[in-house]
A and B are shown apart, each in its own frame.
Chain A
Amino acid sequence: MENASIFVILVSSILVNNFVLSRFLGVCPFLGVSKQVDTSIGMGMAVTFVMTLAGVITYMVQYFILVPLHLEYLQIVAFILVIASLVQFVEIVLQKISPTLYQALGVFLPLITTNCAVLGLAILNIDDNLNLVQTIFRSMGGAIGFALAIVLFAGIREKIELSDVPKPFKGFPIALVTASLMSIAFLGFQGLV
């Protein structure tokens, strides 16, 4: 991973190691906000923004604060602090800039705080010993992968809404089945990198 090119990192994090569909992180918003394509695009964008920034800032926190002070064991606490403040920040800014998007996201925006995909990404970045540039692209890739998965999923769910699903499968069960099929489909990218 040390000398992997940016392109490989992007492809790997968007498709091969997609955070939702092959690492199974961040499944809660993936299922929760995927009823409409519009809101899922909004959620995807919000997560992309938070994830990219969180990746960079946690990198700095790790190498400029935690490592010099030998406080690596505080990693999770410190990272959650970063992510929580970031989400708050995004919420404040969104409310000002795009009230419609803010409304559409509803309670799911604060939920990004506890989105394990964001924390997982930050920790994985450190574990894989990436440098700053690689971290930026890994974060972006992971976030775009999340957005891609959630938008695709929302599109499928909109179609399912119109089709004749057997009664016991209506609603959540069919969504879970769909998600698992998507996950299997993404398995096909495994050989790419």
Chain B
Amino acid sequence: MDVKNILSAGLSLASMGLVFGAGLAFASQKFAVKKDPKVEAVYNVLPSANCGGCGYAGCMQFAEAVVRGDAKPNGCPVGGDPVAEKIGDALGVTVEENEKMVARVLCKGDKDHCAIKYEYSGLESCISANMLESGPKACSYGCMGKGDCVSVCQFDAIHINEKGVAEVDYEKCTACGACIEICPKDLIELVPASQHVVVDCKNEEKGGFVKKNCDVACIACGICERSCPFDAIHVVNNIASIDYEKCTQCMICYEKCPTNAISADETKKMVAFIEEENCIGCSLCKKRCPVDAIEGEIKGKHKIDPEKCIGCGECIEACPKDTIIMKNI
């Protein structure tokens, strides 16, 4: 009796499974959809997390979008660069690596530079401080240093420095954007990690007014705009902004800025140098140089005046013999 029970249970379920399985097999033959083999290839290298971080419903949808050309091969945030490379291999294209970005607090107006409007003694939160007359700082665009960004950062990458302004630890920053979201002053922006020439100010008020409140603010004088050899910095809405695509980090704007609102890393100041034995005297570098720092006759050896050179790197691109190198000073 027991054996019969087990048999009948097992057999009936097995036969049901068999019937359904056969039906499915038939259906998949009958309704087979021809798929692009590339989709399969891309899908196989994806992490299969189906997390939706790429903006598509799942990994399969992302793979289809990549093959269609709607999504970029480096669009998978979970897989990162290794997966992007594998997708590139599967599709036979080269994948540009995403440039690493970091968050940057665009304010230098610490307590040495920016005046205080009133003494704030409320809740230690930027959002509530911001509700009282746009915060205790004289500059209503400045960092109030109450640390909302610090508490929201999961990576311990942002801190209030001893002078009361938030500062990002660029080594730890993952550009997740949490601090950008929370900052009530909209002061934090993503900047390429290699970019050290940055306008550290967001004040859009008129110059004279700004200057009364903070002495490291951008006063929109336009000197940087006029002195930039690459048309990479422009004053829009009373604030200078750098086009990071065009900027060569020559630091001219940094040197010319009367209020020091533009920051740069001086240890990264470079000058170009021509290795004379390989110079053929084609003079291409001389024509390209935006500051006339290169001297020399055609067919003669050329020289770069390190005093004039701004280290923009234009001559390196122009040189057909690859004989110009950058040197740190």
Interface residues of A, Cβ cutoff 8 Å to B? 61, 65-66, 69-71, 74, 77-78, 81-82, 85, 88-89, 92-93, 95-97, 99, 103, 106-107
Contact = CB atoms under 8 A, between A and B. Distances in A.
A81 B28 contact: no
Interface string B7-37: 0110011001100110110011001110000
A40 to B, nearest CB: 14
A82 B9 contact: no
Interface of B is mostly: helix
A154 to B, nearest CB: 16
Contacts of B12: 65-66, 69, 71, 74
A97 B33 CA distance: 10
A74 B31 contact: no
B57 A106 contact: yes
Contact of A107 (B16, B23, B32, B50): B50
Interface of B: 8-9, 12-13, 16-17, 20-21, 23-24, 27-28, 31-33, 50, 57-58, 61, 64
B57 A103 contact: yes
B79 to A, nearest CB: 18
B8 A78 contact: no
B57 A107 contact: yes
A38 to B, nearest CB: 14
24 contacts: A65-B12, A66-B12, A69-B8, A69-B9, A69-B12, A70-B8, A71-B12, A74-B9, A74-B13, A78-B13, A78-B16, A81-B17, A82-B20, A85-B20, A85-B23, A89-B23, A92-B31, A95-B31, A95-B33, A99-B33, A103-B57, A103-B64, A106-B61, A107-B50
Contacts of B20: 81-82, 85
Contacts of B13: 74, 77-78, 81
Contact of A93 (B16, B31, B64): B31
Contact of A71 (B9, B21, B28, B32): B9
A97 B8 CA distance: 39
A88 B31 CA distance: 12
A136 to B, nearest CB: 20
B225 to A, nearest CB: 39
A174 B245 CA distance: 42
Q: Is the contact region of chain A dominated by helix, strand, or loop, or is it mixed?
A: helix
B102 to A, nearest CB: 26
A81 B33 contact: no
Contacts of B31: 92-93, 95-97
Nearest to B8: A69
B16 A61 contact: yes
B58 A92 contact: no
A173 B112 CA distance: 44
A107 B9 contact: no
B16 A92 contact: no
Central interface residue in A61, A70, A96, by most chain B CB within 10 Å: A96
B16 A88 contact: no
B9 A81 contact: no
B58 A88 contact: no
Contacts of A61: 16
A82 B21 CA distance: 10
Contacts of A106: 57-58, 61
Contacts of A81: 13, 16-17, 20
Contacts of A97: 31
A85 B24 contact: yes
B177 to A, nearest CB: 17
B24 A107 contact: no
Given A78-B13, A106-B57, A107-B50, A96 B23 contact: no
A88 B28 CA distance: 9
A103 B65 CA distance: 11
